[in-house]
């Protein structure tokens, strides 16, 4: 379903010392530092799997998601998802995927959620019957009926995130990328989002890759984790194994220990 | 196609909500219209030579400028789009199955047309009943009106093609200030929004005739009053079409280039 092989992506970051003199100097001569956001990333995901993609801030999680969703073009390496290369066959490819960036919004700020949904229906050219069916399923599983006619600006973060995830599923994608879908949510909203992802996965064989810093998300959803640090894949396997080999019982401690172990 | 008509409809309807802004805008437009006309009137009275534009032509030019301001002002750009580029929200737009250039063009067209739709008729209707000196006149014949409509449609396309350059530049510079100021200020002067081009010295006219900006405002408004007519009018509409085509081709090429090396800001 998804195969990444030896993906590299470097960003050029301008280097500047602090202070006025350095600022003046940088007007004439700029030094750049190369940041290896992805340094030979490879992994494979099967259809219907849920994979937790974890790692500290700045490890390359979001960059990987953006490469897989066709937004960024990597410097080298191959990526095959459902037979497509995301950045080469972008327009045909993205019809089959859904993406949620937890820190951003894909819905329109000043119109009711249902209007944004209708626009997405037209963008993905979803047949009316399929759209109705998806919308009914989503309404039922995630409780959209309470706020579907409210403008986005008046929703709470929890409601908004539910609407965001629903929005990315209207066109029946086969793969769903979730970049921090539970960031900033309260406990009931987190539980609702997790239950929802599990239900949809069970019902439609949807393949899900999600990044998160909340290990309870992983614990609730899947046993397969991929750990990335400094642009490299460090661990790919069972979450239960990570838990078993740690002396700690609290998930936060387990992960902190894991990061220490890999010097992240 | 439904994708593009859908974004157009949605932004158009959303734009029509801003009625209070429209009323305030209409008041501003009259204030500026009268101020400009009074200044020009003082020049016309004190000048000994025959003016390059008849007074009624100048009056029509001014009221058209005020009525269609939302369609032609290049210093106004879509703030949501610009902030999306600088803060990374544009990430979502890059993973949609549409042609992003066309999609943004439709979005920009909808916002401008909805804003103009609210304002243009009140300004034009009231200006037809003003005291004689400031009264808006009708075009001299149907041909002039037809040419005006054609040039005005092309003008909107031209404005959007020029605006897209601002967004493309923002992907590179990550601040919209520079590109907005550059396009906005040069365009305002060179399209004849500050001084109508026929009133400029001949050497300045030669310069502004080399740029696309005059085809935004100068050409359609002078076609309306018959200041440009006949074969000359058709030839100039030809040049306008050439500019539209060239800017769209260039914009698409440049857009494709920045998309390939785009960096999404903010993680």
Contact A161, A189 (CB under 8 A): yes
Say whether residue B79 is in contact with chain A using an 8 A CB cutoff: no
B95/A125 CB distance under 8 A: no
Query: How far apart (Å, rounded) are the C-alpha atoms in residues A242 and A224?
Result: 11
Query: pLDDT grade, residue B265 (50/70/90)?
Result: low
Query: How far apart (Å, rounded) are the C-alpha atoms in residues B241 and B235?
Result: 10
Determine the angle formed by the axes of helices A113-123 and A157-167, rounding to 10 degrees.
Answer: 20
Cβ contacts of A172 within 8 Å, gap of 6 or more? A126, A130, A134, A204
The ranges assigned to domains in chain B are: 2-260
Average pLDDT of the segment spanning B52-80: 93
pLDDT at A141 (0 to 100): 81
Burial class (CB in 10 A: 0-12, 13-18, 19+), B201: exposed
Give me the residue from B2, B91, B99 closest to A122, CB to CB: B2
Contact A39, A233 (CB under 8 A): no
> Whose structure tokens read 């530092």?
A33
> Whose structure tokens read 């305002």?
B188
pLDDT at B174 (0 to 100): 79
Determine the angle formed by the axes of helices B2-16 and B100-127, rounding to 10 degrees.
Answer: 40
Tell me phi and psi for residue A169, to 5 degrees.
-115, 0
Low-confidence ranges of chain A (pLDDT < 50): none
**CA A246 and chain centroid, separation:** 27
A94/B89 CB distance under 8 A: no
A124/B94 CB distance under 8 A: no
Query: pLDDT grade, residue B264 (50/70/90)?
Result: low
Give the end-to-end CA distance of chain B in Å, rounded to a whole number: 33
Preferred mutation among B78, B95, B106, B255 to probe A, highest tally of A CBs within 10 A: B95
Residue B6 β-bridge partners: none
Q: B214-260 pLDDT, tens per residue?
A: 999 999 999 999 999 999 999 999 999 999 999 999 999 999 888 87
Give me the residue from B14, B80, B95 closest to A71, CB to CB: B95
The runs of H, that is alpha helices, within chain B are 2-16, 19-46, 55-67, 69-72, 79-87, 91-94, 100-127, 142-173, 176-190, 202-208, 218-224, 230-260
CATH numbers and ranges of domains, chain A: 46-261 (3.40.50.300)
B10/A119 CB distance under 8 A: yes
Contact B205, B197 (CB under 8 A): yes
| Model ipTM value | 0.84
Strands A224-229 and A50-54: parallel
Please tell me which residue of chain B has the smallest CA distance to A61.
B267
The runs of H, that is alpha helices, within A41-172 are 61-68, 90-94, 113-123, 128-142, 157-167
Say whether residue B94 is in contact with chain A using an 8 A CB cutoff: yes
A218, two tokens: 């992983």
Query: How far apart (Å, rounded) are the C-alpha atoms in residues A135 and A129?
Result: 10
* Separation in Å, CA of A121 to nearest CA in chain B: 9
Is it the case that residue B207 has pLDDT exceeding 90? yes
A99/B92 CB distance under 8 A: yes
Q: B79-137 pLDDT, tens per residue?
A: 888 888 888 888 888 889 999 999 999 999 999 999 999 889 999 999 999 999 999 99
Longest dimension (CA), chain B: 65
Query: pLDDT grade, residue B267 (50/70/90)?
Result: low
Say whether residue B7 is in contact with chain A using an 8 A CB cutoff: yes
Contact A72, B264 (CB under 8 A): yes
A31, two tokens: 């030094």
């Amino acid at each position: 379903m998804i195969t990444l092989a030896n993906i590299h992506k470097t960003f050029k970051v301008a280097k500047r010392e602090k202070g006025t003199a350095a600022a003046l100097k940088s007007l004439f001569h700029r030094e750049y530092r190369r940041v290896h956001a992805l340094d030979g990333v490879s992994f494979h995901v099967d259809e219907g799997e849920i994979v937790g993609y974890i790692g500290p801030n700045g490890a390359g999680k979001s960059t990987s998601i953006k490469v897989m969703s066709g937004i960024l073009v990597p410097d080298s390496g191959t990526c095959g998802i459902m037979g497509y290369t995301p950045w080469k066959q972008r327009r045909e490819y993205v019809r089959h995927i859904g993406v949620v960036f937890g820190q951003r919004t894909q819905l329109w700020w000043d119109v009711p959620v249902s209007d944004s949904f209708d626009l997405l229906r037209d963008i993905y050219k979803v047949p009316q019957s399929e759209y109705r069916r998806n919308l009914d399923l989503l309404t039922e599983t995630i409780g959209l009926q309470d706020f579907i006619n409210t403008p986005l600006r008046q929703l709470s973060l929890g409601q908004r995130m539910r609407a965001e995830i629903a929005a990315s599923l209207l066109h029946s994608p086969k793969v769903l990328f979730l970049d921090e879908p539970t960031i900033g949510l309260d406990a009931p909203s987190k539980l609702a989002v997790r239950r929802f992802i599990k239900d949809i996965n069970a019902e439609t064989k949807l393949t899900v890759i999600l990044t998160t810093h909340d290990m309870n998300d992983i614990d609730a959803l899947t046993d397969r984790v991929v750990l990335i640090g400094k642009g490299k894949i460090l661990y790919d396997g069972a979450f239960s194994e990570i838990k078993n080999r740690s002396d700690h019982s609290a998930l936060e401690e387990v992960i902190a220990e894991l990061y220490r172990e890999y010097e992240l | 196609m439904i994708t593009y008509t859908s974004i157009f409809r949605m932004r158009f309807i959303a734009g029509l909500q801003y009625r209070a802004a429209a009323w305030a805008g209409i008041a501003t437009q009259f204030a500026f219209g009268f101020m400009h006309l009074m200044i020009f009137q003082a020049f016309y009275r004190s000048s000994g030579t025959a003016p390059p534009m008849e007074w009624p032509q100048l009056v029509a030019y001014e009221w058209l400028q005020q009525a269609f301001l939302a369609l032609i002002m290049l210093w106004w750009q879509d703030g949501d789009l610009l902030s999306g580029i600088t803060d990374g929200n544009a990430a979502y737009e890059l993973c949609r199955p549409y042609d992003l250039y066309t999609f943004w063009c439709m979005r920009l067209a909808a916002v401008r047309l909805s804003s103009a739709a609210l304002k243009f008729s009140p300004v034009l209707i009231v200006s037809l009943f003003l005291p004689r000196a400031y009264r808006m006149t009708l075009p001299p014949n149907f041909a002039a009106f037809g040419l005006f409509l054609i040039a005005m449609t092309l003008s909107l396309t031209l404005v959007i093609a020029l605006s897209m350059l601002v967004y493309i530049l923002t992907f590179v510079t990550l601040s919209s200030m520079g590109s907005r100021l550059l396009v906005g200020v040069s365009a305002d002067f060179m399209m004849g929004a500050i001084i109508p081009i026929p009133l400029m010295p001949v050497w300045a006219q030669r310069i502004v005739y080399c740029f696309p900006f005059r085809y935004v405002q100068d050409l359609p408004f002078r076609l309306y009053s018959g200041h440009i007519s006949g074969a000359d009018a058709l030839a100039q509409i030809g040049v306008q079409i050439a500019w539209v085509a060239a800017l769209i081709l260039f914009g698409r090429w440049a857009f494709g280039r920045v998309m390939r090396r785009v960096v999404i800001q903010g993680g």
